[in-house]
């Protein structure tokens, strides 16, 4: 049984933050869409994830999902219902048997309820995450309570909504052009019985600016396990005309000697990140005895460490590198280095710090025999 999460992110909702559609607004420094993707990526029951996006947002999307293992996104349509249908049609050859249709603007999909929905699909066609209405309901008549509405038996539908793939595809094809408010309504119209599973109040939809603040508070409360670790590396000078430092090639009278590209800055930082999750050191993951890594670009070592942190549901809160050398001068290259490290780790540049110092001509760096680097990383993991 292949389970695919189809996440709808094609809307233009600008209500929350002005210029950017809300799914790309930062939530603790990472786009909301990335948080939603990560939640589904961490669920063992979900095999594939596909986003439906507005093609105008392709650059924003690519930046937001950097390094995440997702299916290629597909283009949405004019209305949400058109977007879902496009997404479903795109999955016909993917072997999907169960599908979870989810709104990207809900960054905290409840895993237990989702697993329950998927289990129900063994016997049934549809199950959705929803919450029973607890508040008394009033009908507004020009600011006056016109009527108290009986709330017994009323539920608020959330997403994800889970369906047998073929059943919901057929239902959506038949409902094309109609304006139905959610996928469950599309299913109901086709005569499909939709089961209700209790979701979570945390599974709210980010609609207003205060929802974004609430999402940040919630995220903080889920990522309370703060870890800091350090890394250190040295490479000696040898023949060459440039050195690679923090992913940037800098012209120099010498090169740095190493099995890979000898990027001390990225090596120290890779070790620091591995340290935050107790994942050993760079040599264990990329043995210098392995021919595969000869002359390798160190970007991939750092990206791998970042990936391991994310696999644990973690967020990189901050990284800090100190390069220790007399020459070359680091200052002029610092902005590019910050940008490059942020890009490799898919975090915002304001979470990256790069510093340089000399050792006052003392020791091996002072004698210009090589370059040393130390790094610190801080990550937040789920408790
Ligand atoms: Mg090294």
Note the pLDDT of residue 14.
61
Distance 298 CA to ligand 1 centre (A): 9
Distance 196 CA to ligand 1 centre (A): 55
Distance 267 CA to ligand 1 centre (A): 5
Distance 330 CA to ligand 1 centre (A): 18
Dihedral-angle region of residue 368 (phi above 0 means left; psi in -120 to 50 means alpha; beta otherwise): left
Distance 233 CA to ligand 1 centre (A): 5
Distance 327 CA to ligand 1 centre (A): 18
Residues of the chain with pLDDT > 70, as a percent, come to: 98
What are the pLDDT digits (tens) for 101-134?
999 999 999 999 999 999 999 999 999 999 999 9
Cα–Cα separations (whole angstroms), residue 254 to 237, 242, 355, 371: 6, 6, 21, 11
Q: Residue 17: which pLDDT band, with cuts at 50, 70 and 90?
A: low
Is the pLDDT confidence value at 15 over 70?
Answer: no
Note the pLDDT of residue 153.
93
Q: Look up tokens 């559609």; give the residue.
A: 21
Distance 240 CA to ligand 1 centre (A): 17
What are the pLDDT digits (tens) for 148-157?
999 999 999 9
Distance 333 CA to ligand 1 centre (A): 20
Is the pLDDT confidence value at 199 over 80?
Answer: yes
Distance 326 CA to ligand 1 centre (A): 19
Distance 176 CA to ligand 1 centre (A): 58
Distance 263 CA to ligand 1 centre (A): 7
The mean-pLDDT minimum among 99-113, 164-178, 289-303 falls in 289-303
Q: What is the average pLDDT across 23-50? A: 92
- Compare 262 and 346 and report the one with higher pLDDT: 262
Distance 325 CA to ligand 1 centre (A): 15
Note the pLDDT of residue 262.
96
Per-chain mean pLDDT for the chain: 94
Q: Residue 292: which pLDDT band, with cuts at 50, 70 and 90?
A: confident
- Secondary structure of residue 256 in the 3-state scheme: strand
Distance 69 CA to ligand 1 centre (A): 28
Q: What's the pTM?
A: 0.76
Q: Which residues contact 211 (CB under 8 A, 6 or more apart)?
A: 16, 204, 205
Distance 374 CA to ligand 1 centre (A): 11
Distance 260 CA to ligand 1 centre (A): 8
Distance of CA 55 to the CA centre of its chain: 19
Is the pLDDT confidence value at 221 over 70?
Answer: yes
DSSP assignment string, 200-225: -TT-----SHHHHHHHHHHHHHH--E
Note the pLDDT of residue 291.
87
Cα–Cα separations (whole angstroms), residue 26 to 12, 33, 90, 148, 370: 16, 9, 29, 39, 40
What is the C-alpha to C-alpha distance for residues 233 and 195, in angstroms, rounded to an integer? Answer: 57
Distance 57 CA to ligand 1 centre (A): 38
């Amino acid at each position: 049984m292949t389970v695919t999460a189809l996440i709808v992110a094609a809307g233009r909702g600008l209500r929350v933050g002005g210029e950017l559609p809300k799914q790309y607004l930062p939530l603790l420094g990472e786009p909301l869409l990335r948080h939603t993707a990560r939640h589904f990526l961490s669920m063992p029951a979900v095999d594939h994830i596909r986003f439906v996006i507005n093609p105008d947002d392709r650059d924003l999307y690519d930046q937001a999902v950097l390094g995440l293992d997702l299916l290629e996104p597909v283009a949405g349509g004019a209305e949400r219902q058109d977007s879902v249908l496009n997404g479903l049609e795109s999955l016909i050859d993917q072997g999907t048997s169960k599908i979870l249709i989810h709104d990207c603007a809900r960054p905290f999909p409840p895993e237990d309820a989702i697993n329950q929905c998927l289990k129900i699909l063994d016997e049934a066609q549809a199950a959705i995450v929803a919450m029973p209405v607890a508040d008394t309901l009033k009908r507004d008549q020009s600011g006056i309570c016109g009527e108290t509405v009986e709330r017994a038996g009323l539920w608020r539908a959330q997403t994800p909504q889970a369906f047998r793939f073929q059943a919901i595809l057929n239902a959506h094809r038949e409902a094309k052009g109609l304006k139905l408010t959610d996928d469950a309504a599309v299913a109901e119209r086709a005569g499909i019985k939709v089961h209700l599973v209790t979701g979570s109040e945390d599974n709210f939809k980010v609609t207003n600016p205060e929802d974004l603040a609430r999402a940040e508070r919630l995220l903080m409360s889920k990522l309370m396990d703060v870890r800091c670790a350090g890394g250190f590396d040295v490479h000696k000078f040898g023949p060459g005309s440039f050195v690679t430092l923090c992913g940037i090639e800098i012209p120099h009278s010498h090169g740095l000697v190493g099995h890979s590209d000898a990027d001390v800055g990225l090596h120290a930082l890779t070790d620091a990140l591995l340290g935050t999750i107790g994942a050993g050191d760079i040599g264990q993951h990329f043995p210098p005895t392995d021919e595969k890594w000869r002359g390798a670009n160190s970007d991939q070592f750092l990206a791998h460490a970042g990936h391991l942190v994310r696999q644990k549901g973690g967020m990189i809160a901050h990284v800090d590198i100190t390069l220790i050398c007399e020459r070359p001068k680091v200052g002029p290259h610092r902005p590019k280095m910050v940008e490059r490290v942020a890009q490799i780790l898919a975090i915002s540049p304001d979470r990256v710090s790069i510093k340089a110092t000399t050792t006052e001509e003392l020791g091996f760096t002072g004698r210009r025999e090589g370059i040393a680097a130390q790094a610190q990383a801080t990550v937040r993991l789920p408790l």
